[in-house]
Structures are given as C-alpha cells and as structure tokens.
Amino acid sequence: MTCLPGASTSAALYPSPISGDTMNTLTSVQRRKARDKFQLDTIMNKITAMACFSDPSFRLKMFRKIGQGGFGQVFHCKDLEFEQHVAVKVIEKPQKAAKMAAIYTEIKNLKKCNHQNIPRYVNTFLSTDHIFLSMEFVKGLTLDDIIYHIHMDTSTMAYVCTEVLSALEYLQDINIIHRDVKPQNILVSKAGRVKLTDLGLSICTSKRIAGDMSRRICGTTNFMAPEMVTGASYSHGVDIWALGITLFLMVYRQYPYDQRLSKLERLKLIARKSPLELYNYEPGYMLLFYHYCVEHEGKRPSAHELRGWEFISHQGTKEDMARVMSRVLAMKRAGEKEPIVELKY
C-alpha cells in the first residue's frame, strides 16, 4: 500500500485561554503572537471535532496524484473501510490562523452541500502535520482538459453552463459564494456528469465575517470580476462573471485578456470591465448570454434567472456530453488536439 504524504497518527490540540495577567506582562509583538496562536489552535480544534479518528496511513490507499491547488495536492485514493474510491486533498497544516480558517471554511461548506453538481463530502482525517479532506471521486476530466483538446459545439457549451448554473443557484440558496469558478474546477465524468469542485476560497455570506471577507481580492486573475479587483463589496455575481469568462474560453479556447500582459496589466483591464466580446459569433442568443454574464454587477442576472435564458434551452444531453468525453479521451491518449485560431487582442 502506498501512503499519502504526511500520513501518521495525530493528536488534537487543546489551547488554553491566555489570562489577563499574562497578557499584561507581554510586549505588543508577543501579545499578537499569543493571540494568533490561540486563534490557530481554536480553529484547529473545530476541524478536529469534524474529523474521523482513523489513521489515514491505514485507512486510505493512494493511486495517483490528480490535481494541485493553492492549498494542497489532490490524490485518487481508495477508502479501505468503506471500499469506495475518493478524491483526497492533502493540506499541510498552516501556521497562520487566516489560512487555517480558510481550510475550516472549505470543510464546513463542503459538508453543508448536498447537490448533484457538487462533489459529495466523505470525511476529514488528521495527521501530525497534515489535513486530509476526502470527497467524491469523479472519474473523467476537467473542463480545462476538454477545452485544450477540442472545439465544443453550442449545445455542449449550453449543457456545461446549465450544470454549473445549477450548482451556483444551489450555492446561492445556502448563502455560499464560490469565488473560484473556472474550467480547472469544473469536472466532467465519463458518463457526462458535470460537477463544480474546490470550495477552498468559498465564503458563507450569512456570517458576520462575510462583510470583510466579501471585499477580499482572491481567486484566479483571469476570472476575477471587476468589483473584486477594485476592492468593492461583492456577492454571488462574481461567480456569474467567472462563468462568462469560462464560456469565452469554451468558444475560443483562449482567454479574453492577452496573456502576454503582466498580471497587474490584466487586473487593470478587468477593473475597467474590458474583456473581449464574442465578436461576430453566432448564434446571437449565446452572445447575449455572455454579454450579461460580464455586465456591471448591478445588471448581472442571477444563476436562477440565467437558467431561463434561450441559450440554456439549446443545451445537449448527458449522453451527448458522454460522447464528447469519449472523443476527448481518445484524442488525449493519441496525443492529438484540434488547432486553435489565435485571437487578435
């Protein structure tokens, strides 16, 4: 059996409150560090309360690495107790309370979700140095893989958008902003199922902290909405903007911003609300859908509203998507891809 990185038996942390007398004898730097340590341990305790006490080195059999993000690596594993295949995100325990809080939020939000277009939460395991987040394994490819290999037809693009909108509508209903919608976080199974994954940057808008967190600049540069870039308060509309950019990628297989520009230059373009349009692209109902996804925040429709648009009514079926997947997988095995016509920025 191959062990996951960092897997070993863990012990829970139990922080002791810092007394007023102790705090008075510390310097300002020491007080700040003491508070940070207390906050870090408090959040770790919350994660420990949600975790399974099985040792991941015995419970999980690792097959291969299937992804990597800002918080950790993702592995295809088998849960030996439940005899099921799972995707496991392996996260090194951070030393800062803010990062630990983000991990706690991801676990809590994933546990809260119960929707066919979002991977199901399975379990959380702990070792001395790592956190293991186990979730439903989706056997297939990311949308990014599909975009890399082929040009999709309108009905396939409409199907993908419909499934992602279904996930976004559900997240809005339970007060969660995803904040990192992009093709790399959209999984498509061999059977044609579409799932929006990775809640690592998500926030719950019903919490008091959301007022500050909903001004935080985060996510992937090319998919950030203008209100996020400028530091204004934002809401679920940032996920709709990111879906619009994802649609642009499905159409052209390129970003709506020149990637030769620096990150700062691209952020300035985004702040000016300047993505490329789908020029001279038919059908018109898809142009209209894209246009409103990347509209000013106040004019951007909700996920529920967009699901009623004409573009969505032209979606293909799950079986159509499965046929697309078979074709892409064959091309990937053969090392082939369809040519791309370069955009003029």
Encode pLDDT of 219-270 as tens digits. 899 999 999 999 888 999 999 999 999 999 999 999 998 889 999 999 998 9
Q: What pLDDT score was predicted for residue 14?
A: 46
| H runs (alpha helix) in the chain | 20-24, 28-50, 56-59, 97-112, 143-149, 154-173, 210-213, 226-229, 237-252, 263-271, 284-293, 303-306, 310-313, 318-334
Q: What pLDDT score was predicted for residue 336?
A: 94
Q: How far is Cα 216 from Cα 234, in angstroms, rounded to an integer?
A: 9
Please report, as a single letter, which amino acid is at residue 55: D
Q: Which of 79-83, 195-199, 210-214 has the lowest mean pLDDT?
A: 210-214
The mean pLDDT of 266-281, rounded to a whole number, is 79
The two tokens of residue 202 are: 């998500």
pLDDT of residue 16 exceeding 90: no
Q: How far is Cα 38 from Cα 259, in angstroms, rounded to an integer?
A: 42
Which residue(s) pair with 312 in the sheet?
none
Domain 20-136 in CATH 3.40.50.1480? The answer is no
Q: Rounded to whole angstroms, what are the CA distances from 11 to 3, 4, 256, 277?
A: 19, 18, 48, 54
Q: Is 125 exposed, middle or buried (0-12, 13-18, 19+ CB in 10 A)?
A: buried
The mean pLDDT of 295-307, rounded to a whole number, is 92
Which residue(s) pair with 65 in the sheet?
75
Among 231, 255, 261, smallest CA distance to 242 is for 255
Q: What pLDDT score was predicted for residue 215?
A: 61
Catalytic residue list: 179
Q: What pLDDT score was predicted for residue 208?
A: 46
Tokens 């246009």 sit on residue = 291
pLDDT of residue 181 exceeding 70: yes
CATH architecture under which domain 140-334 falls: Orthogonal Bundle (1.10)
pLDDT of residue 23 exceeding 70: no
pLDDT classification of 53: cutoffs 50, 70, 90? confident
For the chain, the structural domain boundaries read 20-136, 140-334
pLDDT classification of 28: cutoffs 50, 70, 90? confident
Q: How far is Cα 148 from Cα 250, in angstroms, rounded to an integer?
A: 9
Q: Could you tell me the sign of the dihedral formed by the alpha carbons of 108, 114, 116, 122, in that order?
A: positive
pLDDT of residue 213 exceeding 70: no
pLDDT of residue 12 exceeding 50: no
Which residue(s) pair with 186 in the sheet?
196
Strand arrangement of the beta sheet that strand 60-68 belongs to: 60-68, 73-79, 84-92, 130-136, 121-126
Sequence-ordered list of residues with C-beta below 8 angstroms from that of 48, at least 6 positions apart, any chain: 12, 13, 126
Tell me: the pLDDT tens digits for 144-175? Answer: 999 999 999 999 999 999 999 999 999 999 99
pLDDT of residue 329 exceeding 70: yes
Helix (H, G, I), strand (E, B) or coil at 50: helix
Tell me what the pLDDT averaged over the chain comes to: 88
Among 156, 170, 75, 162, smallest CA distance to 118 is for 170
Longest CA span, the chain? 71
